[in-house]
Chains A and B, each alone.
Chain A
């Protein structure tokens, strides 16, 4: 009896130790590529699977285009750039684990950020702890930049706090008789939307525009009829929605069903999506406002060739996510080229004190990594998304106001 129990215990111990060893070996198998003469490795963890898989693909392609262009021109510091990509399935725990692995196991030379504030939050914290530079392409929640990280930089002209800037400017520029008197605010409870809506509400209230309805809805909401009915009853002249993805289209469809069309309608995120016109009806896009980080037609340096190269490489026109990634790569490359070596602290210090020219224009940051620009104001006009402000990027001088009613 003793022998059997002993052998069982030993077997059990051996198995558990073996399992530990296996998992150790499996991860230790990756090679250490950080020799000065080998490729320059850049690590990232992207949500290639999971709820945002379709959106992240173009973001990933943006990175790939950037890397191939850099390599075509001789690489960075004379070394070919190699992207080391892990998939986190949009799970922030996994993102944290992935970046830890990239830094400590794969020992990548540089990092590039992932998409959405949800994932970038833990990732940037890990990068900060390990004192590595972290440039993130998207995920503009202002709370990311209040933690005192000096290694963090946002590769867009503005965060959610500055999202409202251009639109508020335009409303303010309207003569008092044309300004809306009442406004309704509807937003999803999401870091990429609700902070911006809060800023809108505060600034418009300061302008004297009365808030007649203001509600936040749960991310899982799919039926907007009740909210739309409440909005319709409140009869706002200005309607602002903090949409994140398809909730934008769903909400507009509810408004159409209830036959309520505000004079001015602004939505975050949703209107930039190419499935948007089909989702709400192509004629119904006329006059809708949105905020963009990037426009394909903006005349910033390198933008047109970016669009052409991307379309050539992947067969489709680039989306804003692709542009954001490309921009992040540009920022990183600019710093590395300027410093001439891989020194995380020096790279960060340089970025804090210099502007970088990118396809979204010149970017410069404050000490928290918060960019000092503002996002573009876009509007759907005659079936095309045009940029109406700021002037440096504007593609049209006309602004549709008021928005026409819904077409049958």
Chain B
């Protein structure tokens, strides 16, 4: 494509220009401004992987610079290790710190995480100052001066930093177009949903954080050698952290080139203001400028320069095709003919066929027992229903089974394996999937990406493959075609109707090839036609051997699909059997159905 060619040409040109500057001009000051810009760009690109892709905003990334700088400095000053080797050690230390930080995110997210990064930066500063035997403390740490001749000036700093920047951007691009990036964007959108789809979010996050930290740390090491004197306050500095965030936000968080662009705007601006502003108030004015810029970006340009510009250009193109309404149900779409339940009124509870068993599940919130000793079983290839009044504990039961909530007691067995201790991704890997009453899809991903993202197995090599391989795309499009949603393949889920989103969520579940599927009120809020298509999909799922557990208030819908129904009230299972059996049960009528409803009279669908 020509646009790609042009892009490559522009990037090559810019790189050539940057690489050539030290050769044609011996202006040291100019080189030093560029070096600082490279550093800021590396820091911002790294931050972008954490905060732009994965959505974890950190105010403490200058700590990586500090760790890298001090590791390199200590090795150089105390052990005589060349800083060019030492900076790799600096990157390692910073990477380890980043890995540790990613572990923190298991419990600490969102705004709490931001506070933790802020506090960690401060504490690292205090630790570095107090551990003065190693770091020199408040006296600072002096590195040996460079030994090469002045003829080479700053080239040994300049080119490594430029090279590191190129490497960082290349890695950031590879992450973004690969499955790692896909997972990170999903985590940013809805981390719990992502882990429920089998993504080992902890591993994804650790990868992202370590990449961010390592490159920034190496840059910090090179910087230490350049500056030749380290002071704790200067390197573990909140203002540097702020500039990193500002550069990434200004340029465009979540894009590959945005942080670089942001750095190239911010750093020369910073230098310009510090050298041209004079007078007693210069420092305050600079602070005002950058604080104001940060605030303005957040308020008025939240997406950043690059996305805003490209979005504007895209809007000026031919108007986008609006996908036409999908073919109605029953026409060429459905591949599986609809039919009624396989057995009528056969009260089976074959233990041998049960793929999911809940035994004595209890969940207590303080004094309230939301689930009070629930037992149920879901057979393979069968659709099992769960009904009950609101507040009876159905959603909590689902949450216990899929791992969102830890059970107070009881066990869950999936295909013979106890999954009570497994995390959500592990349960998904074991073959458990779930949909939600209000469908949860990843807004930053296209519909096809939403469908292909679930995974049964984590492999590091896979993380670097393209987001959607050709084979995956073909399979996903086929699924969408079955659902009549093929025209929406590359749109954002935000453009789908409520019912269409439910279908896509179901497709996600099917992608996992699950052993058991939990469906939370799938027919709620959609038209009868769409509900029929949904029912078809559910039946085809069951036909493939998947066990389906279905919560519904739409009783005819339930009756058509389910071979077995459980009734829940006040956290307990009060009845089970076929739809006809439970609707006749006195206790069920009292608790839920009322006298007017007779499930048995619902006709099976044609």
Looking at the complex, which one of B140, B264, B268, B278 makes contact with A143 (CB distance below 8 Å)? Answer: B140
Q: Which residues of B contact A122 (CB under 8 A)?
A: 227-229
Looking at the complex, which one of A93, A131, A189 makes contact with B227 (CB distance below 8 Å)? Answer: A93
Are the CB atoms of B30 and A27 closer together than 8 Å? Answer: yes
A122 to chain B, nearest CB (A): 5
B461 adjacent to chain A (CB < 8 Å): no
A-contacting residues, B266-283, CB 8 Å: 268, 271-272, 274-283
Are the CB atoms of B138 and A4 closer together than 8 Å? Answer: no
- B7-15, B193-201, B386-394, B406-414: which lies at the A interface? B7-15
Are the CB atoms of A13 and B227 closer together than 8 Å? Answer: no
| Given A4-B317, A87-B278, A12:B261 Cβ within 8 A | yes
**How many inter-chain contacts with C-beta < 8 Å in the A-B complex?**
163
A28 adjacent to chain B (CB < 8 Å): yes
A17 adjacent to chain B (CB < 8 Å): yes
Q: Which residues of B contact A17 (CB under 8 A)?
A: 14, 17
**Which residue of A23, A105, A129 has the most chain B CB atoms within 10 A of its CB atom?**
A23
B324 adjacent to chain A (CB < 8 Å): no
Q: Which residues of B contact A94 (CB under 8 A)?
A: 274
Are the CB atoms of A4 and B275 closer together than 8 Å? Answer: no
Are the CB atoms of A9 and B272 closer together than 8 Å? Answer: no
Are the CB atoms of B268 and A23 closer together than 8 Å? Answer: yes
A-contacting residues, B248-300, CB 8 Å: 257, 261, 264-265, 268, 271-272, 274-284, 286
Are the CB atoms of B268 and A190 closer together than 8 Å? Answer: no
| Given A13-B13, A104-B27, A141-B139, A125:B33 Cβ within 8 A | no
B310 adjacent to chain A (CB < 8 Å): yes
A-contacting residues, B499-527, CB 8 Å: none
Q: Which residues of A contact B283 (CB under 8 A)?
A: 49-50, 53, 87, 89
Looking at the complex, which one of A12, A48, A100, A125 makes contact with B28 (CB distance below 8 Å)? Answer: A100
A92 adjacent to chain B (CB < 8 Å): yes
B435 adjacent to chain A (CB < 8 Å): no
Looking at the complex, which one of B3, B10, B29 makes contact with A101 (CB distance below 8 Å)? Answer: B29
Q: Which residues of B contact A65 (CB under 8 A)?
A: none
B517 to chain A, nearest CB (A): 41
Q: Which residues of A contact B317 (CB under 8 A)?
A: 1, 4
B-contacting residues, A236-295, CB 8 Å: none
Are the CB atoms of A92 and B231 closer together than 8 Å? Answer: yes
Are the CB atoms of A19 and B139 closer together than 8 Å? Answer: no
Are the CB atoms of B6 and A10 closer together than 8 Å? Answer: yes
Are the CB atoms of B10 and A4 closer together than 8 Å? Answer: no
B2 adjacent to chain A (CB < 8 Å): yes
B343 adjacent to chain A (CB < 8 Å): no
Complex formed: what's the CA distance from A72 to B10 in Å?
Answer: 57
B544 to chain A, nearest CB (A): 41
Q: Which residues of A contact B28 (CB under 8 A)?
A: 100, 103-105
Looking at the complex, which one of A86, A189, A194 makes contact with B275 (CB distance below 8 Å)? Answer: A86
Complex formed: what's the CA distance from A121 to B3 in Å?
Answer: 50
Q: Which residues of A contact B268 (CB under 8 A)?
A: 19-20, 22-23
Contact with B along A87-114 (1 / 0, CB 8 A): 1110111101110110111000000000
**Which residue of B277, B281, B282 has the most chain A CB atoms within 10 A of its CB atom?**
B282
A21 to chain B, nearest CB (A): 10
A contact residues, range? 35 or more
Residue of B nearest to A57 (CB): B280
B-contacting residues, A1-25, CB 8 Å: 1-2, 4-13, 16-17, 19-20, 22-24
Residue of B nearest to A53 (CB): B280
Complex formed: what's the CA distance from A141 to B129 in Å?
Answer: 16
A62 adjacent to chain B (CB < 8 Å): no
Q: Which residues of B contact A339 (CB under 8 A)?
A: none
Complex formed: what's the CA distance from A130 to B149 in Å?
Answer: 11
Residue of B nearest to A142 (CB): B139
Q: Which residues of A contact B310 (CB under 8 A)?
A: 5, 8
Q: Which residues of A contact B34 (CB under 8 A)?
A: 20
Are the CB atoms of B313 and A89 closer together than 8 Å? Answer: no
| Given A1-B317, A8-B310, A101-B29, A87:B264 Cβ within 8 A | no
A302 adjacent to chain B (CB < 8 Å): no
B591 adjacent to chain A (CB < 8 Å): no
Are the CB atoms of A97 and B271 closer together than 8 Å? Answer: yes
A169 to chain B, nearest CB (A): 26
Are the CB atoms of B264 and A19 closer together than 8 Å? Answer: yes
A26 adjacent to chain B (CB < 8 Å): yes
Are the CB atoms of B142 and A101 closer together than 8 Å? Answer: no
Q: Which residues of B contact A195 (CB under 8 A)?
A: 139
**Which residue of B26, B140, B278 has the most chain A CB atoms within 10 A of its CB atom?**
B140
Residue of A nearest to B4 (CB): A5
Looking at the complex, which one of B36, B136, B277, B313 makes contact with A4 (CB distance below 8 Å)? Answer: B313
Q: Which residues of A contact B277 (CB under 8 A)?
A: 87
| Given A4-B316, A13-B13, A97-B32, A26:B138 Cβ within 8 A | no
Contact with A along B210-231 (1 / 0, CB 8 A): 0000000000000000011101
Complex formed: what's the CA distance from A87 to B139 in Å?
Answer: 23
A191 adjacent to chain B (CB < 8 Å): yes
A128 adjacent to chain B (CB < 8 Å): yes
Contact with B along A118-152 (1 / 0, CB 8 A): 10011001101111000000000101001100000
A82 to chain B, nearest CB (A): 16
Residue of B nearest to A11 (CB): B309
A149 to chain B, nearest CB (A): 9
| Given A89-B283, A100-B29, A122-B227, A9:B138 Cβ within 8 A | no
B151 to chain A, nearest CB (A): 13
B528 adjacent to chain A (CB < 8 Å): no
Q: Which residues of B contact A78 (CB under 8 A)?
A: none
B252 to chain A, nearest CB (A): 11
A340 adjacent to chain B (CB < 8 Å): no
Complex formed: what's the CA distance from A83 to B501 in Å?
Answer: 71
Q: Which residues of A contact B14 (CB under 8 A)?
A: 13, 16-17
Q: Which residues of A contact B136 (CB under 8 A)?
A: 143
Are the CB atoms of A100 and B32 closer together than 8 Å? Answer: yes
Are the CB atoms of A121 and B140 closer together than 8 Å? Answer: yes
A38 adjacent to chain B (CB < 8 Å): no
Are the CB atoms of B282 and A87 closer together than 8 Å? Answer: yes
Are the CB atoms of B139 and A6 closer together than 8 Å? Answer: no
B423 adjacent to chain A (CB < 8 Å): no
B341 adjacent to chain A (CB < 8 Å): no
Are the CB atoms of B229 and A121 closer together than 8 Å? Answer: yes
Complex formed: what's the CA distance from A251 to B146 in Å?
Answer: 43
Are the CB atoms of A6 and B138 closer together than 8 Å? Answer: no
Q: Which residues of B contact A383 (CB under 8 A)?
A: none
Contact with B along A171-196 (1 / 0, CB 8 A): 00000000000000000011100110
Complex formed: what's the CA distance from A30 to B162 in Å?
Answer: 27
Q: Which residues of A contact B465 (CB under 8 A)?
A: none
Q: Which residues of A contact B6 (CB under 8 A)?
A: 5-6, 9-10
Complex formed: what's the CA distance from A23 to B30 in Å?
Answer: 8
A208 adjacent to chain B (CB < 8 Å): no
A33 to chain B, nearest CB (A): 16
Complex formed: what's the CA distance from A121 to B232 in Å?
Answer: 13
**Which residue of B3, B136, B138, B228 has the most chain A CB atoms within 10 A of its CB atom?**
B138
Query: A8-B313, A13-B10, A19-B265 are known contacts; what are 17 more A-B pairs with Cβ within 8 Å?
Result: A1-B3, A2-B1, A4-B316, A5-B6, A6-B6, A19-B268, A22-B268, A26-B276, A49-B281, A49-B284, A94-B274, A101-B29, A104-B27, A105-B28, A118-B140, A122-B229, A125-B228
A-B CB proximity, top 10 nearest: A104-B28, A49-B283, A23-B268, A89-B283, A5-B3, A125-B228, A101-B29, A13-B10, A105-B29, A121-B229
A–B pairs, 22, beta carbons within 8 Å = A4-B314, A6-B6, A8-B309, A8-B313, A11-B309, A12-B309, A22-B268, A24-B30, A26-B272, A26-B276, A27-B30, A49-B280, A86-B275, A97-B36, A100-B29, A103-B28, A104-B28, A118-B140, A118-B231, A122-B229, A194-B139, A218-B129
A residues at B contact (CB < 8 Å): 1-2, 4-13, 16-17, 19-20, 22-24, 26-28, 48-50, 53, 86-89, 91-94, 96-98, 100-101, 103-105, 117-118, 121-122, 125-126, 128-131, 141, 143, 146-147, 189-191, 194-195, 218-219
